Chain A
């Protein structure tokens, strides 16, 4: 095993070390929620609505119930009376969502009836025997229509389809637009895509009647999951025990699963038997409520002859589908980086969240930041084109400079640190930018469409959820803490305990590395486990690129407490003041006479067995907890909507070379380089792995993936035949160049990076495609940039009389 030393001067942090998790995954020893096999477990299949909007007249289930092996048929009327509605992220209490529709269905694929049987196959047989009589009602698929007064209402009780709307003005925007030499406006559109993990959603529930505890194993990445579930079930919080020790087979945001888990929980309690629901791919893509942002951006920008951007206005209309969970808040995160990495002094932002009769939206990697970065980077390239200025020169002029950090942006957030110019230069060098330009120009001379795209984007990290109070005045959330418990047993082994699920972020590697660093003990011997929710310290789950910062900080804090205790025990037993002893490799010794020492084993023995040798006021045993608040957290937004959102800002720049076959519209990415600065990397392999995955995800969003709906409200891409995820053959070889600007706010200088690659990828690919299209005088600002869309543009451009783009 190659074990290179840390580039940062740490002992373990940053060193190339094998991860804790990978051996079990690559040897097939992961343990997922679907691996939980309980005696007598029952299985669920779903009857889904074929209509995007309809009234349920009647449900006939006698024939299904008569099928041998069928145990129960549950419809919305029963369930909705017995449980409370699911949480809504904005102030829209009448937008009620339950696992099963009751009365009205609001999208094609919405769950109407749940069938419980001894096997999933029998449940599916029974589904075919259930007859639901629907009265079709008018439906909406166009978000702009939906936002208009008088539109058909998805939730009549709510009175409008708009879930959230506000116009934020930070700084002298109108004045800047008035005084600027130039103004530009255009529309960009981000198509509805998502993340589609290999593992669909799965939830298993079992009612422990003896202890009166509901046990849950679920494939989740969801803050406040146990609390929300207990509340919806009308149980006390301590009646629900969520087992966080199951592996999650990918999430990237979407594994929320409240409705799935609420459904099996109710059934398990009702039937007094363990119940599992394992979505199949069809259920997952149509009714799993996991589609991502679906946005129309109206962008306006004001700038001067010299390329200095004075202000921009961003109008974002987001189609969240038929219900609202946390999805409207995905318009909130971009507030934290609303001017991107640029020195833009005045910004207007007008987000609108609107409902239509489509599958509901869920959180997707970056929580709305990648679409915004895409729109912003398209803007930057258009400004350069308008001025005839080099796109890199324009970026260099507007990027915040290293010496300006910490840098406060108009929306009230302070960026912690960065060196954007250097990261950009490193990436360009690694890509041999001049060589790429020559290659592009040669290709163009040979009649091919070739382009280079460069994006410079931010990744806000360390999520503190302050978009919640910003978007909902009734919500006063100002902490989004995370925790860790570190324990040293009688035999001297170290265990770290965290209290949330892990969907591939490598919590075990993270905690063991950090604890090893602080205690100066080899991380390979440190065990890390996930507590269940009744044993767990408070945690807010691995969302918002937060675990390196938050769990890393908490683990370090707990380990430091252990080290402090060991120092006290050592000093006490060596008869020295604390200032006279040193801690090294787990031993404590007299600083002046290192041979006078207590070893790790001796110190541990004292803590566990020899109370008579303990210093006063120290608890016996050897364990410590640490609960950490998000750095810079703790304040509510101001009246005008200024707020410190995320503490740390990672930076990424992508350099992409693309060629498009002008006869077919097929784009091929031929070179892909990422320059990345997420501060100190605790485990570089994990960071790089996430970045590779993020780039692949971005390639999918940019070129291939779309949950398309017909005018009739039907999902047209509900299988992998039509929802096209890039394979290894479509994702180019990716080179990553690292840079490290430590964050001054975190324990070791780390920043978050869970969304890396995805946040700058689609933007750069769009810039490359537009560079390729520029010579024929056309442009695209819509994802996915499909073969058909590109061919249509090329054909239309060729049909026009030949001229250079007037802009």
Chain B
């Protein structure tokens, strides 16, 4: 488990990282927290010719509210994002998802952007981004573009990021209503493992408890995290009672295309998706009701 030989550079700015990428393109990899990339390199499953360290780039570490979105720099450590109380109030699903990510030790190094660009189909942050419809600001030498989550996640470990692009920031929608609730749940064999299946939901209800807006995401049961938009839409106008939720998630399988492995069969994954989808919707509903009563989850 020694990495194959590679060249190493430390970028001091996004611009410098982009020039290095422009120069080395597909032969280069950006090194953020390294919690996935470094083990893959050690097992020689990843063999970049150039490793460009972006850990010291200050501009990748901003975190700010910008109207109806919260912008996080791609280089922020997961632990710092998880502990950011203001962000947790604005986009609670991020903290709720990060609870399940690895362990304290891995979160101390792991970054938000690294996890998103790595795009493991079972990972928590990609799921939250997909469910909320976050967008991704990709920079290359001299230009910048913004890609919606729906277009960003393309296949297992494959995103819309081009070889010469660097993820600069992630823009998370902030739901500004009074009665917004969210929940994240997953089944992993051990805490901190990649989820067998993960689910998250966010709902907004009106003063009568009727659902006015909802999203539902499922991870680990398709090649990318999925947003179950039709199911979420079907909840609009309902009271989100248990029976309605149970009925709505019955058809979750239409979004999924799970595989089988030593820990879970495809059938088990679809079942778990249904169970967890119902759980997160119920919890999000209760959370929203609690917000209305002025309590915080």
Contact = CB atoms under 8 A, between A and B. Distances in A.
Interface of A: 120-121, 124-125, 128, 280-282, 663-664, 666, 704, 706, 708, 716-717, 719, 721-722, 724, 726-727, 729-730, 786-788, 791-792, 795
B5 interface: yes
Interface stretch (B23-31, B91-99, B185-193, B228-236): B185-193
5 contacts: A124-B1, A722-B261, A724-B189, A726-B190, A787-B196
Given A120-B2, A282-B43, A786-B263, A704 B187 contact: no
B268 interface: yes
B187 A724 contact: no
A125 B5 contact: yes
- Specify which of B187, B190, B263 lies most central, judged by the most chain A CB atoms within 10 Å of its CB: B263
A724 B194 CA distance: 12
B4 A722 contact: no
Given A280-B1, A282-B43, A792-B268, 4 more contacts: A124-B44, A128-B44, A666-B187, A704-B190
Given A663-B275, A788-B265, A281 B190 contact: no
Q: 3 shortest A-B CB distances, which residue pairs?
A: A121-B2, A280-B1, A729-B191
Given A124-B2, A663-B275, A724-B193, A717 B262 contact: yes
A722 B262 contact: yes
Contacts of A730: 190-191
Contacts of A124: 1-2, 44
Given A120-B2, A664-B272, A787 B187 contact: yes
A121 B1 CA distance: 8
A715 to B, nearest CB: 10
B196 to A, nearest CB: 8
A716 B189 CA distance: 16
Given A786-B263, A787-B263, A788-B268, A704 B1 contact: no
A730 B103 CA distance: 13
B286 to A, nearest CB: 18
A299 B271 CA distance: 35
Nearest to A665: B268
B155 interface: no
Contacts of A666: 187
B190 A727 contact: yes
Contacts of A706: 262
Interface in B105-137: none
B275 A729 contact: no
Contact of A664 (B5, B192, B193, B275): B275
A730 B192 CA distance: 11
B2 A787 contact: no
Contacts of B5: 121, 125
Given A121-B2, A280-B1, A664-B275, A788 B263 contact: yes
Interface in B229-279: 261-265, 268, 271-272, 275
B190 A724 contact: yes
Interface size class, chain B: 20 to 34
A121 B272 CA distance: 43
Interface of chain B: mostly helix, strand, loop or mixed: loop
A722 to B, nearest CB: 6
Interface of B: 1-5, 43-44, 103, 187, 189-194, 196, 261-265, 268, 271-272, 275
Nearest to B274: A663
Contact of B1 (A282, A716, A717, A786): A282
A240 B271 CA distance: 60
A663 B268 CA distance: 10
A719 B265 CA distance: 20
Contacts of A795: 271
Contacts of A717: 262
A487 B273 CA distance: 68
A664 to B, nearest CB: 5
Nearest to B194: A721
A704 B189 contact: yes
A792 B261 CA distance: 15
Contacts of B194: 721
Nearest to A710: B262
A727 B192 contact: yes
Contacts of B193: 721, 724
B279 to A, nearest CB: 8
Contacts of B261: 716, 722
Given A125-B4, A125-B5, A664 B187 contact: yes
A721 B43 CA distance: 13
Contacts of B192: 727, 729
Nearest to A666: B187
Contacts of B103: 727
A522 B274 CA distance: 65
Contacts of A724: 189-190, 193
Contacts of A792: 268
A791 B275 CA distance: 12
A730 to B, nearest CB: 5
A726 B194 CA distance: 15
Contacts of A664: 187, 272, 275
Nearest to B4: A125
B216 to A, nearest CB: 17
Nearest to B187: A664
A704 B189 CA distance: 8
A248 to B, nearest CB: 21
A645 B259 CA distance: 49
Given A663-B275, A730-B190, A791-B268, A716 B2 contact: no
Contacts of A791: 268, 271
Given A664-B275, A708-B262, A788-B268, A729 B190 contact: yes
Nearest to A663: B275
Nearest to B279: A663
A125 B263 CA distance: 33
A722 B190 contact: no
B187 A722 contact: no
Given A788-B263, A791-B268, A727 B1 contact: no
A303 to B, nearest CB: 37
A722 B263 contact: yes
Contacts of B263: 722, 786-788
A426 B17 CA distance: 65
A281 B1 contact: yes
Contacts of B272: 664
Contacts of B264: 787-788
B219 to A, nearest CB: 15
A668 B248 CA distance: 29
A716 B262 contact: yes
Nearest to A716: B262
Contacts of B44: 124, 128
